[in-house]
Amino acid sequence: MTIQTVKFSQLRLSPLNVRRVKPSAIESMADDIAAHGLIQNLATYEEDGAYHVFAGGRRFRALELLKKRKAITGTYPVAVVVRSKEEAVELSLAENAQREDMHPADAVRAYAALRDQGGLSAADIAVRFGYSEAHVKKLLSLGSLATVLLDEMGEDRLSIETARALTITSDPAQQVELFNRHGDNAHRIRQALTSEKIATDCGTFIFVGREAYEAAGGTITVDLFSKDGSGYADDPELVEQLAEAKMAEIGADLRDMGWKSVEASTTRPDDIYCRPMLHPVKREASEAEAAEIEQLSARIDEITESDPESEELADLHDRLDALENALQSYPSELRAQHGVIAYIDYRGALDVRYIRLRSDDDSDRGDRPKAAEGPYSKALIEQLSGIRTLALQQAVASDPTLALDILLDTMAAQLLHETYSYRLAASVSPIRHAPEVDDELMGGSSIVRVETAMAQQFAAVPDEGRFAAIRNMDPAEKMQLLAGLVAITIDATQHNGDGDETRLRTADLYAGAAGLNMADVWTPGCEVFTRMKKGALLAILTDACGPNAAENCAKMKRNDLAVAVAERLPASWMPSPVNPLPPVPTQPDDEGEMSKAA
């Protein structure tokens, strides 16, 4: 290291200076130098006859400003410390870190240079500059950003949160393309990068387990900013297959236990809380069990009095609960008459509900085909069938006679035939059904939400004095009010990609009576197909247009393929979730078979 004086015209701002983002307060520093001179030397290295400033960039810029003001000339003497070029990056980082906080974009470049050129680990960098290792790792993770995006970050056009979302992909070209398309919007970018993945902290993945998923050949895109190595499973179909296989084994075990009806599903049935619960039978405790329960209860009371914060209390309560639960069971005669539902809860745990069946309910809902099987995801099935619900509500609202028939049908089902309300397509509770359908999916639609139309049409009906106002309506207006209110209760949506088959088929009957033709009110646009996987799109194209059409598009990227599918499908084509359920195949009886044989 040497100290010498050089002319200002011999100085250059080094590209190794970690600070690329222009710092603040240059003017005040220039005024200070003009008044008091340059108090601190600039740190440089010599190359090609010039001295490159790698530490002291703000002072160099202040001198440049003074030269522009003509306060100094190119011959102005500047004291510099001359170091080797190899020392430049590390010393530049140290100098800037001790002064005005560096812009994150500068820190990202600097840490990456120390790692890639200096061979330092995150722990080494953290120790040298007094930061936590976690902080350094996070900034190093942003080092995978495209260079142009680091520049955007330096100009404050790219936030840290959006930069973090972009690191889900390591492809710089894709990072730039996504930023250009969505701008500084972390949510949309993350959604675009993970639309064909499933988070490793979601219930289904937790239930399957990372070890089982990776053993089956699944891969994971790690979230570089997660604390526990979580991220996204790249093959959600494999996750679903493994979950369904595991649930099938659980269902088989429950059937072996003698339950009359068994449903084993990866998702909670939407009507779970409408089903009547089956309560266990409680037996008398044995002498030993009764004595232990008495001892535990006494001990719990004693500790609660003397030391309510004692950690021993939790263990005692757990043991007491286990003893009392052991006294409850579902004997074989109950299992032979009633049902059980097993599903994965939001935490990834198995939840089991015991359901009381009526004596005439012989259905085993667990054996029917899953509505989500096929090219459509559960989320898309719910959205598309929600559009069908909105269309059916609109059709019923315009047909008061049909609305009256639906109302009578619903009331008769519950009051005359004791049908469970969850199996009905309409509700007289009443329950409002307003499907949440993304606006972009409604682009090719003439559907108007019935609730919105009703609020406008009957705005004059007062809250206070409502009954008198209804009594004074003319019959036609009264029937129109009835039609709209009944329509709002109709639910033809397959929630979470599934739904009670009886309810859905009843909704199909109502749609047939209303003469509903979905092609008259809604057209599936490109927005539907961009939400589907490439294999699903090719399957739809094969089915609707033939294998040659699919083969011609097989090499397209998914988004381009979605556009191609939207252009090639026939005008009358509709996705299956907005169509009626397929008819139930009829089985010929023995007499019919024998007649044919004869």
Could you state, in order of their start, the residue ranges of all structural domains in the chain?
Answer: 1-102, 241-367, 378-524+574-578
Indicate whether 501 pLDDT > 90: no
SS3 318: helix
Q: Residue with structure tokens 């008061």?
A: 400
- Give the residue, 565 or 116, on which the prediction is more confident: 565
Write out the DSSP string of 526-552: HHHHTTS-HHHHHHHHHHHH-HHHHHH
Is the pLDDT assigned to residue 46 strictly greater than 60?
Answer: yes
Report the pLDDT averaged over residues 551-564. Answer: 88
Which band of pLDDT confidence, cut at 50, 70 and 90, is reported for residue 197? confident
Indicate the pLDDT class of residue 589, thresholds 50, 70 and 90. low
- What does the pLDDT read at residue 215? 94
Q: Max CA-CA distance within the chain?
A: 118
Pick the range with the lowest mean pLDDT from 136-140, 252-256, 441-445, 584-588: 584-588
Per-residue model confidence (pLDDT) at position 91: 66
Q: Looking at residue 597, what is its pLDDT?
A: 42
For residue 236, pLDDT beyond 50: yes
pLDDT of amino acid 242: 94
Mean pLDDT of the chain: 83
359 band by pLDDT with thresholds 50, 70 and 90: low
Place of tokens 């701008």: 183
Distances (CA, A) of 182 to 141, 187, 190, 563: 21, 9, 10, 19
Which segment, 33-37, 119-123, 333-337, is predicted with the most confidence on average? 333-337
Task: Encode pLDDT of 55-96 as tens digits.
Answer: 778 888 889 889 998 889 989 998 888 887 767 666 665 555
Kind plus residue range of the DSSP H or E element containing 42: strand 42-47
Determine the topology of domain 1-102 in CATH: 3.90.1530
Burial class of residue 281 (count of CB atoms within 10 Å of its CB; 0-12, 13-18, 19+): exposed
- What number is the average pLDDT over the span 225-233? 76
Tokens in use for 77? 């003497």
Q: Are 499 and 465 in contact (CB under 8 A)?
A: no
Confidence (pLDDT) at 391: 93
Is pLDDT at 300 greater than 80 in this prediction?
Answer: yes
| CB-based contacts of 233, cutoff 8 Å, min separation 6 | 197, 198, 199, 200, 205, 213, 218, 219, 220, 239
Side by side, which strands form the sheet with 261-265?
A: 261-265, 339-344, 350-355
pLDDT tier, 217 (very low <50, low <70, confident <90, very high otherwise) = very high
Q: Which two tokens stand for residue 299?
A: 């001990």
CA distance 515 to 220: 48
